[in-house]
Amino acid sequence: MSPGYDSTPVDPEDATAFVDGVSFDTKLQVYEAEANAISAVQVEFMSAIGEGEITAFDLARNGVLESLHENCYSPIWKWAGKIRTREVTIGVPPPEQIREQLPRRSEISDSG
């Protein structure tokens, strides 16, 4: 983490989006909690891919990426699994372009 994240307070607006019963004082605590939650989901997800339970074709199905996002972030954020509705400065497209940029079934061949 960049120097100083351990003392950078959580933005009060962001804190309103934590799920009930969850709170953090610093951004570093948030980032660590997110990393832990993602790691837990990653193990399950990679296992499912390895066992052929999930294919690239599955990822293009409606709601699959949103569900994966929800599984990763629902321990922390109320917005987990939902398409963002406000602009943020994290180097990603604005909200109105997100759904447009998700993969479409026609762009992915079914190898299974």
- Total domains, the chain: 1
- Does residue 112 sit within a domain? no
pLDDT score at 61: 79
Region of 44 (left: φ > 0; alpha: ψ -120 to 50; beta: rest) is alpha
Residue 27 lies in a domain: yes
Q: Which long-range contacts (CB under 8 A, 24 or more apart) does 5-12 make?
A: 5/31
pLDDT attached to residue 24: 95
The domain in which residue 40 lies consists of: 12-107
34 SS3 class? helix
Does residue 49 fall inside a structural domain? yes
pLDDT recorded at residue 45 = 87
Question: What pLDDT shows up at residue 55?
Answer: 86
Residue 93 covered by a domain:
yes
Does the residue 90 lie in any domain? yes
pTM score, whole prediction: 0.70
Q: Cα-flanking dihedrals φ and ψ of residue 92, to 5°?
A: -120, 165
Token pair 């100083």 in the structure block, residue: 4
The percentage of the chain sitting over the pLDDT mark of 90, rounded to a whole number, equals: 38
CA-wise closest residue to 26 among 5, 12, 57: 5
Name 30's Cβ contacts closer than 8 Å, sequence gap at least 6. 10, 14, 24, 76
Res 103 pLDDT > 80: no
Q: Per residue in 7-33, pLDDT tens? A: 889 989 889 999 999 999 998 999 999
- Residue 41 maps to a domain: yes
Q: Is residue 85 part of a domain?
A: yes
Residue 75, pLDDT score: 95
Q: How do residues 45-87 score in pLDDT, each as one tens digit?
A: 889 889 999 887 887 777 888 898 999 999 999 999 987 776 6
In a domain, 4, yes or no: no
